[in-house]
Structure 1
Amino acid sequence: MINKLWAKLERAETDFPGRKWLSLVDHSADVAAVFEAVLQVPLVTRRLAALAGQRDFPPIWRSRLCAHVALHDFGKANHGFQARRDPKAPPVGHVLPGLGLLYSNSQPGLASRLAATLMCAEFAAWGAWESATRAVAAHHGRPISQQLIDGDSQNHVATLWTPRANYDPIAALAPLAQAIRNDWFPEAFDIDDLPLPDAPRFWHAVSGFVMLADWIGSDANAFPLYIEPATDRMARIANARATAPQLLAVYGFDPAAKRKALPAVSFASVSEHEPRPIQKAVGDVDGQVVILEAETGSGKTEAALYRFARLFERGEVDGLYFALPTRVAAKSIEERIREAVQRIFPSGARPCVILAVPGYAKSDGVGYKTLPDFDVQWDDGPDANLRRERWAAEHPKRFLAGSISVGTIDQALLGAIQARHAHMRSSSLLRHLLVVDEVHASDVYMERLLVSLLDQHASAGGHALLLSATLGSTARHRLLGLTPNDDQPLAELSSAHYPAISTSQDPEPKHFDGSGRTKQITLNLDPRIGDPVAIARLALEAAEQGAKVLVIRNLQHAAVATAEALFALAPNHPALFRCEGVPTLHHGRFAREDRELLDAVIGAQMYAERGTKGLVLIGTQTLEQSLDICADFMITDLCPADVLLQRIGRLHRHAKNARPAGFEAPRLVVLSPDDLAPLLSKAQFGMGGDHGPYRDLVMLEATRRLVRDNSTWTIPQMNRTLVEQATHPHALEALTCELEKVNPAWRGARERSDGQKAADTYLAQHVLLPWKRCFSGQIDLAFPLDERIGTRLGADDVLVAMPEGTIGPFGHEIRVLTIPSRWLPGVDLSAELIPQMALEDSAALTINLGGHRFCYDALGLRKLKP
């Protein structure tokens, strides 16, 4: 007779017999075996031991944690869940009903029977009972508080668990308990004096690994359903115990075999160039959190890869997550990471490199199409073995479970906030060297999230490397886990070493030579920021002299207006930036396939194949990050000094490039109103207001004055002074005192800015995971049902799948467009959005989505007026 206590069921209309299914006992064996394999990865247990405040991870802990995990789905025994084999049955769950009875005050008799059947007294004797129970119960992605349990209606407990004539849910759990006690983990029940730790950080990490084990153990491709179960339940767990370690190795979670095959690591493993002193120093510097500050073009990416290779070789990390500020930046650097991985690892022992960008993910440069039921179709039709190697790339929640991933900082920060499966992300990340590129001092909200993530990461003994050309002292101290010393004299801060390395063990910046190159840049303020025609003409004049001109606007609509003005001025001019022969620009609102084309053309025309012809490239902040751009002349909107220095890194980036006459020395035009005071009442140009990219007008005024009063900037010697004078609280307060004497509204602006930063800090604290609070009935982590808590304020994009065969403006098929949620007011973003398409002409698509109209053409995606 088939055991009808099922846990997994084939999606089909047929009932037993003939329908594939999996018993609760067998599914529990699968998940427990995967979790056991996770705890057999040496680095995992080292991280957990550190979070528990211990040097070692006792074997008894492994057995007891596995025993807890084997009970993760006991709630599926309830009447309502078992009735779901009928597709028309109501969707009764299993986590809340299970905990609802276990912690029931309304049904003490049933609760006592359940506790006795599940051996709760013996489990409780192991210590940390409630933390363990609730950490395991969070395996679907969110912690379960008592408030959630009570909200599930205790009145239903009796209905779901009271025995009926043909089925007793509690008695049905006895075989599972017996298998755990007698067959699977009998050593867990041995008497000893090593209780499970009562350490909150430990249980947060355990919860994440349980989520991962449940995800892997629920994969029917790896752990198949059946028509008839095996008669020997030990055969199932024996098979699962053999399968799970192999899966972890193939997925990249356990890289032991790849490490064993790794040749001795040197800087030559990463790059063919001789290492600069600062690059070589990063490879071996002590410290879990390391900050590398150096000028753009000094080889920070190669330094990060060298540190990863060295840490990986020593077994101090099992992988790498390279986090960039934007999708465009992540995509542009992913190929460089793949090339480095090919140098570091021998053929046959080379981990997959994942482009960890939702909707645009790739594995080793190969993309896929998302299908129903979480399935995917890879573009190259891989065989089963290669498909399995790409497992971690097939879903955003799994990106960090592989070996090497390149993505946005958001994917890492989703492991620090109260979003579904945050714990799975953060626990998987503990194994990696976390590299965060292009860290700035001017984003308070994201900085607070990153500080919290680093706090948990470092507490586990994890490693992180932060890269910046322009980091202020206040932000640097916070990121190293220290309290900023705001009483330190500004002159002293400005004279700190640069380029430099700082670590959590040695926080004072230590000088190491970077590129050794000095750039003297001539800067001019130009008030024509609101005149796109004048800006286009200025750029075109330089291009006609043979210069490669880079124009960076703070806002997309300003970039588009400038491009339209340029195309109208000179519609057939050879200096127009083109992609597949079509004049265009660069910003973040292009489809993935089109952005890849744009990036490739930029790399060729602005660096690899520069030639002698002039060129005008217009764009937004996407041009300041990661793309290998070497401009002869730059025009940029005013922005904070740390961001401006990042943009300057694209000006005369490579010394070896020949320059046209008149552009032998780097020149920069900074577009800015002569007076920023009008922006106090009305935001413009991405400056001021409550929602623009650069809201702190005092900081912008400080930067404007640095340009006005210093017509020549010597880089990198002046970097530290420029950043401190434009971002440090003392400098900004002194400037505010001066400004308010002329216009009292400046004091209000400063107070609003401070209030915004305080609000951003509060919002960050409100959404962060409370690492120091344990899972208990008192903690209420009111996780949302999706991931719409932003990892950056105002950033909440919607991915919209295009109909198959949709051709973009550059003649190639596009699959997905990314639309800001703020462009879709009144639209249910939880529902599948199906666009209605129209081709207005040969170059423009019109898209109707939820009553809103958009245009997509060579100028990118724009919202049309009603």
Structure 2
Amino acid sequence: MRVVIDWRVVWAKSVTDAHGEPTHWLPLQQHLDDSALVAARLVDEWVSPQVVDRIAQDLPDGVGGVRVLCRWLAACHDVGKASPAFAVQVPEFADRMRDAGVVADPMLLSHPQRSRVNHALVGYFAVRDFLRVSFGDARSVVAEQLAGVVASHHGVPPERSVLKEVGRASELVGTGVWEQARTFFLERASTGVELARYRDVRLSMPSQVLLTSIVIIADWIASNAEFFPLLEAHEPPEEFDTAARLDVAWQRLGLPARWRARPVGSDVDAAFRARFRPEAVGARPVQVAAVEVAAAQGRAGLLIVEAPMGVGKTEAALLAAEELAARTGADGCFVALPTQATSDAMFGRVRRWLDVLPGLAGAVSVTLAHGKASLNEEFDGLVRRGWFASIGQDVGDGPFAHSWMSGRKKGVLASFVVGTIDQVLFAGLKSRHLMLRHLGLAGKVVVIDEVHAYDVYMSQYLGRVLQWLGAYRVPVVLLSATLPVQRRAQLVAAYEGSAVVAPVELGYPVIVGSGGVEPRTMPLPEPGIDVDVDKLPDDLDALVGYLRNGLRDGGCAVVVRNTVTRVQETAARLEEEFGEDSVTIAHSRFLACDRARIDLGLLRRFGPDGERPGLHVVVASQVVEQSLDVDFDVMVTDLAPMDLVLQRLGRLHRHGRTRPASVSRARCAVVGVEDWAGDPVRAVAGSRRVYGEHLLLRSAALLVDRAAVTLPAEISTLVQAAYGSGPIGPASWQRSMEDARSDAERAERDRSDAARTFLLGEVGSDGESLVGWIRAGVGEAEDDPRGAAQVRDGAESLEVLVVQSDGRGGLTTPSWIGPAGDEPIPVDLAMEHRQAKVIAACALRLPVAMSNPGVDLDVITALEANRITSFHLSPLLRGQLVLVLGGDRTAEIKHGKAHFHLTYDPRKGLMHERG
């Protein structure tokens, strides 16, 4: 007689107390039922229509088939828990299964291979073999693909070699009654599903990635005991009202509504006024053209907007995003920028856009995605509002940071995201839960600002991400002051997944679209500005004389240096000449809170409505070219690549104002070369280390005989010449320039090769599966320093949190930072969140010399000696390196090859000397 087994005894979820005793449990059958209904509800109400449409392209039943398949996959995802390897983990529940006839040998708990036979891999074989039988096809492609989705639901697709090991571990996988159990759950999941309709399906890789991410999210939600309560450990299995469980859970979860974008319409002027500037006469030409080109594309595509600084590219991108979203079903937008500072500034602008954005039905989730987001007061306030929203309390209409969406892995899933470019480039980095990053981008319009700022190494990742975004049919808008024609062609080819076509000069400003859309050129904004270009020797006395003459009637100057060391040396000399009160120093080697104070001071004095001092000199590194809307009367800049020189020149006479007579005409002196009469001109060593010889030589060749630059008319011409391959400059320079080009090309090849170590593969062809998709990845992208370093080539130096010694064995917050300074820090007890935020705002980048290979590990070892229990207890500070300064604001770092003497000055920043 056949024994009838109550398969509800197979357990899936457990909770244990502090003594390891089980307190709660949930049957596998119920968890699969919960997950299935969550997946279906996600497709119905949360997954972007743009994502659903992309998956539907691969299925016989279109959009309806997406819901069916997601529900089926979620109903199967944990079937591998019906295995001895899993069951024996909680002996009490394994005993209950044994009593019902499902027997696992208790000795398997100590089996050396048990941990490698995880339930996701067992599920792979169960689903693959079940579908092969169902299809009557032992070589079924789609069976392998769907099994790969199930095997990947913990964020890491399996590797073929590991699957072979699991396939040989029959005692851990389970045969006989265990196979019956898995078949039961799979047959139950398939009730009412016409599996035969999927027999000849060939899923694309994008669809498999998206399906996996939906299953992951369904599993996460269904695994949350606050939403889906468990049984007490002593309770027997019972029949649940799964639909009622879902309704209660969904209400408590409170996911924000989708954005249902509307077309901008033909009256772009009215749309611009409604969203950005009610007092404006109308939209600018670049904004009108962006909307028109977006509308001409019909569906998804790539837009590249090349236009001068200050003509409204950001507003053009947001208007184009609305138009593209309305046409594709995208229900969100990701705006990526080069730095945390630019992201913070953009977050406020996007928030104001969301306040008036049509198509938002109630609250919508928004997040700031970078490592210091919690220090942004505007975002932190949204997080606190969003937390209450997520547990069922009312929240007013408008954007909020939903707590479930602001988790480390899930932040990019919010409807609207502003973040650093890293967060987009991570989608090209082989890392755990990569598919969630892809889902977070696949449902949005993606806007990437300042594309010209990304070097060849980062461009490897950007190109690969664009290829995947193109395969997902994601609309993308790229913004740049100007791009070399070759680079523009590469970006379009990457998105279209095609070979690079011969680059064509299109004029300037220009908007380029993919898919054969006609490029749109626009007239240059009037009036332009002529900047007189002087060449000075790299001598501080010459610099002082130039500024003395230029500022004889008053005015404000900026000196831009390529290295922090040159900033500090220059500032010291200018303070002697003009006095400390007339000199401001700005660079990247300040505490984050000091940097914010300096930036606010710059905006207050030199911004659009600045209260300008009578005579003042700002000495800054590249930070001044990147994000701040500031305006100066005269400039001195180190020689830099031509696009960056032009970016810097854009800070001259930027705002309409009356200026002193001696600076009524914009002037810039270029310095930072060993000798302007050199043959060829050679940049100083620090600049060569930062930018390389090749681009500096080409920039010098364009400037050496030039008396003036007209902005913005000459921007494109100069950039194309600087980044082109044609000869420029004196004939006697050409040999040196060719040698520099060869060196640069060799270095680029080396960097490109290095980038491929963790670079995600190309999209691939239909019929491939997820098995081996991210082989040899980096783990968690943010958690593993190798991952964060990969997308930026490790260019960022080590970061520390700065505190001070009180001289009595205790610690305080830095004494100079204002009201929160000089506060005692608990060493062994948990600190208040308020104080943790203060300390987090005291983050500091160490000099590159302390982060170079050969000394970096010694520096880390020395800093790790400052282990502070209270920091470990704070989620905001845990895992951070700590630099303890003495009362005199100095510290000694000494370990192995590392020996540095550090001094921090609130006006000058961090200074270092080698020991």
TM-score grouping bracket, smaller chain normalisation: 0.7 to 0.9
**Matched AA of 1:753:** A
What amino acid does structure 2 have at the position aligned with 1:586?
Answer: A
The aligned residue for residue 144 of structure 1 is: 158
Shift of 1:382: 8.0
Per-residue deviation at 1:154? Answer: 6.6
Q: For 1:136, give the aligned amino acid.
A: V
Q: Alpha-carbon deviations, 1:439-478, whole Å to 9, x = none? A: 1187222223222222221232211111111211111111
Shift in alpha-carbon separation, 1:672–1:587, aligned structure 2, 3 A? closer
Please report how far the alpha carbon of residue 4 of structure 1 lies from its aligned counterpart in structure 2 after TM superposition.
6.7
Name which of 724, 730, 750 aligns with 2:741: 750
- CA offsets 1:367-410 (integer angstroms, 9 cap, x no match): 389xxxxxx98999888457994226633432221111111111
| Structure 2 match to 1:358 | 371
Are residue 267 (structure 1) and residue 272 (structure 2) matched? yes
Match of 1:793 in 2: 793
What letter matches 2:840 in structure 1? Answer: R
> CA offset at residue 674 of structure 1?
4.5
| In structure 1, C-alpha distance between the alignment counterparts of 2:113 and 2:800, rounded to whole Å | 31
Q: Is the 8 A contact 1:75 1:94 kept in 2?
A: no
SS of 1:143's equivalent?
Answer: coil
| Partner SS state of residue 525, structure 2 | coil
Query: What runs of 5+ residues in structure 1 fail to find an aligned partner?
Result: 104-110, 370-375, 578-584
Q: Which residue in the other structure is 1:428 paired with? A: 440
The match for 1:97 among 107, 112, 118 is 118
Match of residue 767 from structure 1: 758
1:679 is displaced (CA, Å) by 13
Aligned to 1:556: 564
How far apart are the structure 2 equivalents of 1:599 and 1:477? 36
Residue 310 of structure 1 aligns with an amino acid whose one-letter code is E
Find the aligned partners of 1:438 and 1:216 in 2 and give their Cα distance.
Answer: 37
C-alpha change, 1:67 and 1:485, in structure 2 (3 Å) is closer
CA distance in 1, matches of 2:369, 2:113: 34
Residue 497 in structure 1 maps to residue 507 in structure 2:
yes
Check if 1:239 corresponds to 2:245: yes
Residue correspondence of structure 1 range 34-433 to structure 2 within 5 A: 34-40=38-44, 44=48, 46-47=50-51, 49-50=53-54, 53=57, 57-85=62-90, 97-98=118-119, 101=122, 114=126, 121-122=133-134, 128-150=142-164, 157-162=169-174, 170=179, 173=182, 176-177=185-186, 179-181=188-190, 186-189=191-194, 191-192=196-197, 195-227=200-232, 235-236=241-242, 238-240=244-246, 243-244=249-250, 247=253, 249-250=255-256, 254-256=258-260, 266-272=271-277, 273=280, 274-285=282-293, 286-287=296-297, 288-313=301-326, 316-344=329-357, 349-361=362-374, 365-367=378-380, 384-385=391-392, 389-391=401-403, 394-433=406-445
CA distance in 1, matches of 2:815, 2:402: 28
Counterpart Cα distance in 2 of 1:232 and 1:259: 48
Q: Deviations over 1:481-509 (max 9, x none)?
A: 26555586xxxx3xx32111111134664
1:269 deviation in Å? Answer: 2.7
The aligned length equals: 811
Give the 3-state SS of the residue equivalent to 1:729 in structure 2.
coil
3-state SS of 2:157 partner: coil
Matches of 1:849 and 1:3, distance apart in 2: 61
Q: CA deviation at 1:792?
A: 2.0
Taking the aligned partners of 2:54 and 2:518, their CA distance within structure 1 comes to 26
3-state SS of paired residue (1:203) = helix
Which one of the candidate residues 453, 463, 467 is aligned to 1:451?
Answer: 463
1:810 aligns with 2:804: no
- In the alignment, structure 2 segments of 5+ residues that lack a partner are 1-5, 93-108, 804-810, 821-837, 865-871, 873-877
Deviation at 1:628, TM superposition (A): 1.3
Structure possessing the higher radius of gyration over alpha carbons: 2
Partners in 2 of 1:86 and 1:807 — Cα distance?
A: 53
Q: TM-score, normalised by structure 2?
A: 0.77
- How far apart, CA to CA, are the structure 2 residues paired with 1:301 and 1:230? 59
The answer to whether 1:477 aligns with 2:509 is no
Superposed counterparts of 1:397-796, under 5 Å: 397-440=409-452, 443-481=455-493, 483-484=499-500, 493=505, 496-506=506-516, 509-513=519-523, 515-528=525-538, 531=539, 535=543, 545-567=553-575, 569-570=577-578, 572-573=580-581, 575-577=582-584, 585-607=585-607, 608-654=609-655, 656-675=656-675, 684-688=684-688, 692-695=689-692, 697-731=693-727, 739-741=733-735, 743=736, 746-770=737-761, 771-772=763-764, 774-775=768-769, 777=771, 781-787=775-781, 788-789=786-787, 790-795=790-795
Q: Distance in 2 between matches of 1:599 and 1:809?
A: 17
- CA drift at 1:278: 1.4
Secondary structure, counterpart of 2:531 in structure 1: strand
Classify 1:786/1:664 alpha carbon distance in 2 versus 1 (closer, same or farther; 3 Å): same
The 1-side partners of 2:365 and 2:151 are apart by 32
Q: Does 1:841 align with 2:887?
A: yes
Distance (Å, rounded) in 2 between the aligned partners of 1:123 and 1:599: 65
Normalised TM-score (structure 1): 0.81
In the alignment, residue 298 of structure 1 is paired with which amino acid?
V
User: 1:623 Cα deviation (Å)?
Assistant: 1.7
C-alpha distance after superposition, 1:200-223 (max 9, x if no partner) = 232233334434444444444444
SS at match of 2:438: helix
Identity between Structure 1 and Structure 2 (%): 24
Letter in 1 for 2:775: L
Q: Distance in 2 between matches of 1:224 and 1:471?
A: 55
Work out the CA distance in 1 between the residues paired with 2:456 and 2:710: 28
Say whether the 8 Å CA contact 2:672–2:683 is kept in structure 1: no
Which AA in structure 1 matches 2:778? P
Whether the 8 Å contact between 1:134 and 1:775 is mirrored in structure 2 is yes
Matched with 2:37 is 33
| Offset of residue 271 of structure 1 | 1.4
AA partner of residue 160 (structure 1): L
For the 8 Å contact 2:676–2:704, the answer to whether it is kept is: no
Q: Is the 8 A contact 1:141 1:422 kept in 2?
A: yes
In structure 2, C-alpha distance between the alignment counterparts of 1:97 and 1:383, rounded to whole Å: 32
CA distance in structure 2 between the partners assigned to 1:814 and 1:519 by the alignment:
44
Distance (Å, rounded) in 2 between the aligned partners of 1:450 and 1:227 = 50
- Aligned partners of 1:15 and 1:85 also within 8 Å: no
Report if aligned partners of 2:39, 2:218 keep a CA contact under 8 Å in 1.
yes
* Distance of aligned partners of 1:246 and 1:589 in 2 relative to their CA distance in 1, 3 Å threshold: farther
Give secondary structure in 2 for the equivalent of 1:610: coil
Change (3 A) 1:836 1:728: closer
Which of 13, 18, 21 is 2:18 aligned to? 13
| Residue deviations 1:660-717 (CA, integer Å, cap 9, x gap) | 22112221122231559999999955433xxx4312x232112112122221111121
User: Alignment partner of 1:759: what SS?
Assistant: helix
Q: From the superposition, tell whether residues 837 and 413 of structure 1 become closer, same or farther in structure 2 (CA, over 3 Å).
A: closer
Q: Is the 8 A contact 2:444 2:474 kept in 1?
A: yes
Q: 1 or 2 for the larger relative contact order (CA 8 Å, sep ≥6)? A: 1
Cα distance in structure 1, aligned partners of 2:815 and 2:324: 43
Q: Distance in 1 between matches of 2:610 and 2:461?
A: 40
- Read off the aligned partner of 1:705 and give its amino acid letter: A
Correspondent of 2:856 among 824, 838, 849: 824
Q: 1:542 to 1:360 in 2, by over 3 A?
A: farther
- Equivalent residues of 1:441, 1:471 under 8 A apart: no
Displacement after TM superposition at 1:14 (Å): 4.0
* Aligned-partner Cα distance in 1 for 2:319–2:286: 11
The answer for the alignment partner of 2:835 in structure 1 is: none
Any idea what the Cα deviations from partners look like across 1:144-181, whole Å, max 9, x if unmatched?
A: 2213445x6777x24533479xxx75555466435423
